[in-house]
Chain A
């Protein structure tokens, strides 16, 4: 590692270095793609789960606890188990796919399959947590709204769409922001999917290298803290960019759903 005292002023050189590194741009697009693949299904499933948990159920605490157990599992443990599940030869997933007649997939090697594998780890760990957050918000929706909607002849699906979803809007925005921030920082999952030297570079072709991995590889594996710090700033810039897009989409969603539900019931 570069001696910390031997650092000297280089101006924009470190930024120049990473911005001209194709591996950096691969990491940017990987991070972005994994973010989308992991966040969107995760929040949709969580919403459906919360809806189910909101029914009057036998042993409701049991179901909630079960669904939350992945949250208690650390990134490291989760990534290591899934590394075995995703093994090309004799992994649990390929074995199951084999039963249905599919050929084994080399999950970690493929450009899309490796991103999917990492997303599945993320989805597994966080869906239950988000479902509980949605559930809490659903239980805060006043029952009068549902009564009013049903008096107007709204079906259950319409009630879900026109009462539940709009009432959950602040919570949904909150979870989108939190999951986006989280997905920008994925580190343990890609590091341990294959482990060792593969993990430090995000696969043999950097197919699942995230920005955090790139930062780690530059700063700690190769020992250049300067470029690593430049990567950190790039991450902040990207995060702000995504936050701005989120905000714009959020505003758009608010406007359209407001005009759709002008019954005065939502806010």
Chain B
């Protein structure tokens, strides 16, 4: 499974014609439809519309979280934030065990991220640079697991976790996700190109053992990819819903589980639910505002490699 970037098949690459060599052609065609084209007003209008649509539900979460339920459910919905935000946040905090939920979400997401980075970098390095028997079909097997829906594993996982005495415990959410096939593949793709064999050989000649090579050679080279993988893994772990919802309960939830159960109660107060939604979304949104450029770049580089 190699994804090479498309390259022109023409064997001879012609130098671009000097400017003005084709005066009868409008210059905008020569720029191509690609990145050099300047966006016209239409592009900005279209992007603004999509951007508005992207932000509106988030803005409206804030509006609803700062109103009373009656105002939220009125036949003309409110459009401006009200003054009940702090009160609603407090009620949501108490009703849905949110303090514990936030702590749990942080524990779960960081341990999954740390473990994924550790295992995927090691495995990615092995698959990229070490020669061993069965490397090809092992990698294929790892990739093949990507197509298996998580639903297939929830019943046996649930039984295993109960058997281990981890029912309702954070372990039941953390341990099944310590390593991801996508992560192994991602790190492998990156290291194949980024880590030259010469570097490893040089370290070997200097007497470094395998452990030393990983620490002093592989990790520094792998750092940019690890940043990307770390971000993707953290977002996914933070927002994961299906398995945590089955495995955990209201006494010991992650944020998403707490939120789901807050809304599943018999008479959920919608403004309180929205306050909970706000609490669960804000941390990631803050990260997005601070590191937007890095995250965008990460997803785009991951897309090309993956």
Cβ distance A132 to chain B, nearest Cβ, rounded Å: 5
- Interchain CB contact (< 8 A) of A137 among B273, B288, B304: B304
Encode A135-172 as 1/0 by CB contact (under 8 A) with B: 11111111111110111001010011001100100110
Contacts A71-B235, A76-B280 given; does A55 touch B270 at CB 8 Å: no
The distance in angstroms between the C-alpha atoms of A225 and B176, with both chains bound, is 19
> Please, what's the 1-or-0 string for B118-154, where 1 marks a CB less than 8 Å from any CB in chain A?
0000000000000000000000000000011111111
CA distance A49 to B39 in the complex (A): 12
Kindly report which residue of chain B lies nearest to residue A168, judged by CB atoms. B6
Residue of A nearest to B4 (CB): A170
A154 to B151, CA, bound (A): 48
Give the chain B neighbours of A141 by CB distance below 8 A: 6, 34
Verify if B284 is at the interface (C-beta below 8 Å from A).
yes
**Cross-chain pair count, CB within 8 angstroms:** 285
Is B20 engaged at the interface, CB distance under 8 Å to the other chain? no
Q: Which of A160-217 contact B (CB under 8 A)?
A: 160, 163-164, 167, 170-171, 174, 181, 184-185, 187-188, 191-192, 195-196, 199, 211-212, 215-216
The answer to whether A68 and B299 have CB atoms under 8 Å apart is yes
Whether A65 lies near B288 (C-beta < 8 A) is yes
A interface size (C-beta, 8 A):
104
Asked if A33 is at the interface of the complex by the 8 Å CB criterion, the answer is no
Q: Which among B25, B54, B60, B150 is the interface contact of A70 at CB below 8 angstroms?
A: B54
Scan A58-90; emit 1 where CB is below 8 A from any B CB, else 0: 100111111111111111111011111101011
Query: Is the Cβ of A225 less than 8 Å from the Cβ of B158?
Result: yes
Interface contact B151-A185, CB-CB below 8 Å: yes
Of the candidate stretches A17-25, A36-44, A226-234, A248-256, the one touching chain B is A226-234
Q: Does B266 contact A (CB under 8 A)?
A: yes
Q: Which residues from chain A contact B81 at a C-beta distance below 8 Å?
A: none
Residues of chain B within 8 A (CB-CB) of A10 are none
Say whether A65 contacts B296, CB under 8 Å. Answer: yes
Q: Is B263 an interface residue (CB 8 A)?
A: yes
B177 surroundings in chain A (CB, below 8 A) = none
A191 touches B35 (CB 8 A): no
Q: How far is the CA of A228 from the CA of B3 in the complex (A)?
A: 37
- CB pair A78–B300 under 8 Å, yes or no, is no
Question: CB of A54 within 8 A of chain B?
Answer: yes
With both chains docked as a complex, state the minimum distance between the C-beta of A260 and any C-beta of chain B, in angstroms. Answer: 16
- Contacting pair B152 A84 (CB below 8 A): no
Residues in B with CB closer than 8 Å to A245 are: none
8 Å CB interface, B223-269 against A: 235, 238-239, 241-242, 245-246, 255-256, 259-260, 263-266, 268
B39 near A195: Cβ-Cβ < 8 Å: no
Kindly list chain A residues whose C-beta atoms are within 8 Å of the C-beta of B13. 144
Q: A74, B238: Cβ atoms under 8 Å? A: yes
B205 close to chain A: CB less than 8 A: no
Chain B residues contacting A73 (CB-CB under 8 Å) are 57-58, 239, 281, 284-285
- Distance between A213 CB and nearest chain B CB, rounded to angstroms: 10
The docked-state distance in angstroms from the alpha carbon of A62 to that of B50 is: 13
Contacts of A53 on B, CB cut-off 8 Å? 47
Q: Name the segment of B72-80, B184-192, B212-220 touching the other chain.
A: B72-80
Q: How far is the CA of A62 from the CA of B54 in the complex (A)?
A: 13
Q: How far is the CA of A141 from the CA of B105 in the complex (A)?
A: 40
For the complex with contacts A81-B58, A145-B8, A192-B260, 15 further pairs of A-B residues with Cβ separation under 8 Å are A52-B47, A55-B40, A66-B55, A70-B54, A74-B256, A77-B61, A84-B72, A129-B299, A144-B16, A171-B303, A192-B264, A195-B264, A232-B152, A236-B148, A267-B9
What is A's interface to B at a CB cutoff of 8 Å? 4, 48-49, 51-58, 61-78, 80-85, 87, 89-92, 95, 124, 127-129, 132-133, 135-147, 149-151, 154, 156, 159-160, 163-164, 167, 170-171, 174, 181, 184-185, 187-188, 191-192, 195-196, 199, 211-212, 215-216, 219-220, 225, 228-229, 231-233, 235-236, 239-240, 243, 264-267
Closest 10 CB pairs of A and B: A146-B32, A65-B292, A55-B39, A136-B300, A74-B239, A150-B29, A133-B303, A77-B277, A90-B75, A229-B155
**B: which residues have CB within 8 A of A?**
3, 5-10, 13, 16, 22, 25, 29-40, 43-44, 46-47, 50-51, 53-55, 57-58, 60-61, 64, 72-77, 147-156, 158-159, 162-163, 235, 238-239, 241-242, 245-246, 255-256, 259-260, 263-266, 268, 270, 273-274, 277-278, 280-281, 284-285, 287-289, 292-293, 295-296, 299-301, 303-304, 306
